[in-house]
């Protein structure tokens, strides 16, 4: 087996909320990830056991508005796994 054969396909999504709320961010990120897999034409399913959500990272716009940014990654479940 070559190293490339066991490499996982990873999908990433990001979101920003005007308030810190990990549960709301995670729900939205899961939807985004599902859509990315569909649009990529993947026949596999996301392996939700590999879902990683990072954040929030707080940022402020030049107008003084605060946003809380989250990033999620999930691996594609291999067919037959």
The sign one gets for the Cα dihedral 4, 71, 41, 46 is positive
Res 2: pLDDT? 38
Residue 33 contacts residue 72 (beta carbons within 8 Å): yes
pLDDT in tens, 20-74: 999 999 999 999 999 999 999 988 889 999 999 999 999 999 999 999 999 999 9
Res 7: pLDDT? 66
69, part of any domain: yes
50, part of any domain: yes
Give the total number of structural domains in the chain: 1
59, part of any domain: yes
Residue 51 contacts residue 32 (beta carbons within 8 Å): no
Indicate the SS3 state at residue 76.
Answer: strand
Largest interatomic CA distance in the chain? 53
26, part of any domain: yes
Answering whether pTM is above 0.75, one says yes
Distance CA(2)–CA(24), nearest Å, equals: 39
46, part of any domain: yes
Expressed as residue numbers, the domain containing 40 is: 10-77
């Amino acid at each position: 087996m070559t190293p490339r054969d066991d490499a996982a396909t990873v999908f990433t999504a990001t979101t920003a909320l005007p308030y810190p709320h990990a549960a709301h961010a995670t729900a939205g990120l899961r939807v985004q990830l599902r859509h990315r897999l569909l649009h990529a034409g993947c026949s596999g399913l996301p392996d939700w056991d590999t879902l990683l959500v990072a954040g929030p990272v707080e940022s402020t716009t030049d107008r003084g508005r605060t946003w809380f940014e989250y990033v999620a990654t999930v691996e594609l479940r291999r067919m037959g796994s």
